A and B are shown apart, each in its own frame.
Chain A
Amino acid sequence: MVEAVAVSTTNSRRGERQRLEDAIFRGATRFFAIVVLLLLAAIMVSLFIGAMPAFHAFGFAFLWDQSWNPVKDLFGGAPAIYGTLITSVIAMLIGVPVALGVAIFLTELCPPLLRRPIGVLIELLAAIPSIIYGIWGLFILAPFLQETVQPFLHDTLGNIPLFGVLFSGPPLGLGVLTAGFILAVMVLPFIAAVTRDVFLTVPAILRESAYGVGCTTSEVVRDIVLPYTRVGIVGGVMLGLGRALGETMAVTFVIGNAHKISLSLLAPGTTISATLANEFTEAVGGLYTSALIELGFILFVITFLVLAAAKLLLLRLDQRAAK
């Protein structure tokens, strides 16, 4: 009897200790999960605080003001914001069709044996660091575009009234178009991977029914696969767009760094991230630094919105798949 009581108290003491250890471990994992959450908030808040002096000085006009004069302490974000948007648009115009082509090839056309190796090679494009794209763009791609593609665009599309202004001016090699090209290559693997994955979610029975009534492969893709996966594709494209908007080093190498908005795509420009990379450590004076931080804040808000939209679309798709 006495022994039994002794055993049960050691047992309950051990149980207590185990409950305590459990609570500590659980608390630790929960704590670090909250750290991840707070990290994003901390980034937002610290950039916002850093941007306050510039925001007070220039107000909302910062968004459309084109001046960038460190000597007179006059700053406007328009050229950088415009450059960020236009290079990303070019990247999407080139990158999305190619990525869709890759996804169609991998899911519909590729022999099963080659599917994995080719998929991995395309994904390796995403593993190459940004700076390598930059050095390659500067020394290899830019001279190539300058000698071949850009004179061709200038001589053909450049002659079309109104539209031609996009391709006017001397072919410099470095500029908005080259940056867009590089970004297109960089977002290709991200969009292709998501698109391929959503293509594979199409139920085999839909695909086979369409083939059964005599559809060609291209008709199956157009009428079955694309409509079924529309939401997922848009999600993948937004994910790629989020990457393109914030891409720094590759763009910094090839954009030419000019704080002005030119209609011509062959002209040099700048982006938010390129401006930061080039000028931040050299910025003297509180207002200059603050204007740069405000640019960073704007970039973070834009990419946050794009990435959140992409994530929500893809989540909706997961919920549909779970049903």
Chain B
Amino acid sequence: MTLQTLVVQLLNGLASASTLFLVAVGLSLIFGVTRIVNFAHGSLYMLGIYLAYSLIERLGAGSVVGFWGGVLLAALITAVVGAVIELLVLRRVYAVPELFQLLATFAVALIVRDAVLWLWGPEDLLGPKAPGMKGAVEVLGARIPVYDLFLIVVGPVVLGLLWLLLTRTRFGVLIRAATQDREMVAALGVNQAWLFTGVFALGSLLAGLGGALQIPREPANLGIDLTTIGEAFVVVVVGGMGSIPGAYLAALLIAETKALCYALGTVTIGGTTFSFSKLTLVAEFLVMALVLIVRPWGLLGKPAGPVRGAAQVEAPLRPATVPVRRAGWVLLGALALLPLASGHFPYLPVLGIDILIAVLFAASLHFVMGPGGMHSFGHAAYFGLGAYGAALVLKALGTPMLVALAAAPVAALAGALLFGWFAVRLSGVYLAMLTLAFAQIVWALVFQWDGVTGGSNGLVGIWPAPWLAPKWAYYLLTLGVVAASVWLLRTMLFAPFGYALRAGRDSPLRAEATGIDVARVQWAAFAVAGFFGGVAGALFAFAKGTISPETISVGRSIDGLVMVLLGGIQTVSGPIVGAVAFTWLQDWIIRATDYWRAVLGLTILGLVLAFPQGIAGALGPGLQRLFERGRPPTAKAGGS
């Protein structure tokens, strides 16, 4: 690889950087002002490219007006769609616990994906090249497409236009003010609702524009939204949430790193061949992890301004009263008797096992998210480490199944200890993204390490011992393990450790002042959550008989998030309710209809709008009152 080829590859990287920047900057703006993690941003990008394809076909692909008109119109329509989403859905869920809006945008993303499939069909749609920019020019002996050079210019131009918008217009001033201190802006009399709609529309416009500009480079296909949202999040976080120049810098950094990986190709260092192009699988997450460890707020990000109680104050958790405990035992008994029905409903134990594993996964995630206040987007890493640990112990060491089941969570614990040490040094969305980065790195390791983990195919033949082979037997084992684990988690929550954890979440300064080492408590909480996530993973491995890298994928982490949020992040039974609801819903809806993604999305949206505190969060106080009706209030310890 000569200097010439290196420079040419770096030029290629610049073109990709512009694309990344366009997608990420909209997300950064939206988050900076509204503090919403907009999961639907990738879907808007996808909408932009599909709309551009259709509009260009309609307006005439060969002419300049046809092409550029189509692109701009696609961006505008995407902006309108974004504004509509904000008006219909998001406005109703602003005053709810943090991160709940993620659920709403997740549901919107599901709906948009099926809508696009329904409108445009399943095939890839390759649009035309840009008129006048179809060829390539010679640069340093290599041929660079003219359109790439155009894109290299577009990035800084958009950056400049945004800078002008932010500094010279009133709208821009309001955006900057709201990014810094949202409540103060409202207190000063600015109509916050329209400001949010405007920002969402602007962010959607940029996403749609980014998508439309990709028409000459790639076909419109249905997988784009997922790949884009991942990359966009990484760029935004690396650059610093809410920072526009930071987003450009981050886009440059990540695109050039990837270009370098491709340029290096396969390299032989001291006898071992190392394929750098395979590193592109995880390059951006490695960069993100490194940047966040060195600069916890991203490259150009600033620590978030004071949050002045935008969400409702959470009621303190109360231990279960006697009636609730009795109800819990009755429920456990009923579940234990479930196998008796398996004569008539043979599918029930199978579904039950999956639901129980989801319950444990969600409960372990909730332990750090709710009481701990640390949002983890990478919880699937511990699930996968537990699953792979169980499989490897069983296959490599040939131990009996129960030994493997017991030993597996240790791998997850080790991972949680390692990642948690880094994670607790951050907060908010940066912590969430760092956990995601670690999860992706684990995923990539497992994906590539063919010899040990079976690579992308995974490991097969991990069935339980013969006496546990009948589904109802394994169901009872799962029920026992999950019930014990959930009980343990709950006990820890109401032990001094749990109170210290919640103190650290509610008021870190005060907690430190009373002598609680908040970082250490949070680190321990991470370890506990990881351990029980690993238990869930080990149970999963034996339930399915095979595991593959999907157990560590982003999709599984997101599923866990959805379950916790759906149930309600403030209550202890929230994750249980959410896991049951989500797993059962998904199983039923997939079997019921072809367009199950849209139906699932609509259902989740309905649940989000009907239960803004989460299902358990909304029903919990009501049920609690139901149980306590007619009983005199119990005397408090040490009270009158």
The answer to whether A and B come from one shared complex is no
Query: Interface residues, chain B, CB within 8 Å of chain A?
Result: none
